[in-house]
Amino acid sequence: MINSDFVKKRVVIYARVSTEHEAQMSALENQVDWYKPILAARPEWTLVGQYIDEGITGTSAEKRPQFMKMIRDAKQKTFDMIITREVSRFARNTVDTLQYTRELKSRGVEVFFINDNIKTQLIIAHCLKKKQTSFQG
């Protein structure tokens, strides 16, 4: 059986900074540059796009135009995997993270949170556990 990590994948990057301050915009450039060696080390990944929200908070997915465009494009099957630096860049709240990773998974699109070393299946389990804990506490 072939390990799915070595199958050719069309990959997109999602990056976000929450303010338009110069330091944050510089951080955005650094975020995008940060992916270059990761992509170079994975020849089976082909970068087919970037979705970047600038100066937008991560608390509501609907208020992030590039995030929502990425979700629409995923429905059109224009890529196989989203890579993002960490969960907090993807979404700030558990409900959005769970909702969108589940929706993407149902469309055959995987999400990989690189710094957290978590892919779709693990993040769904993590969010469900976190959500369950919040109801108990």
User: Structural domain boundaries of the chain?
Assistant: 8-136
- Answer yes or no: CATH 3.40.50.1390 is held by domain 8-136: yes
The residue among 28 and 135 whose pLDDT is bigger is: 28
The residue among 128 and 49 whose pLDDT is bigger is: 49
The Cα 42–Cα 86 span in angstroms is 18
Which residues, 6+ apart, have CB-to-CB distance to 8 below 8 Å?
44, 45, 46
Burial class of residue 7 (count of CB atoms within 10 Å of its CB; 0-12, 13-18, 19+) = exposed
Cβ–Cβ < 8 Å for 114, 84 = yes
Is beta strand 110-113 parallel, antiparallel or unpaired with respect to 81-84?
A: parallel
Q: According to the model, what pLDDT value does residue 61 have?
A: 82
Indicate whether 22 pLDDT > 70: no
Mean pLDDT check: name the lowest of 6-10, 15-19, 75-79, 120-124.
Answer: 120-124
Q: According to the model, what pLDDT value does residue 123 have?
A: 61
**Backbone dihedral angles phi then psi of residue 78, each to the nearest 5 degrees:** -85, -10
pLDDT, tens digit, 9 for 90 and up, residues 107-122: 999 999 998 888 876 6
Q: Is 129 helix (H, G, I), strand (E, B) or coil?
A: helix
The residue among 30 and 10 whose pLDDT is bigger is: 10
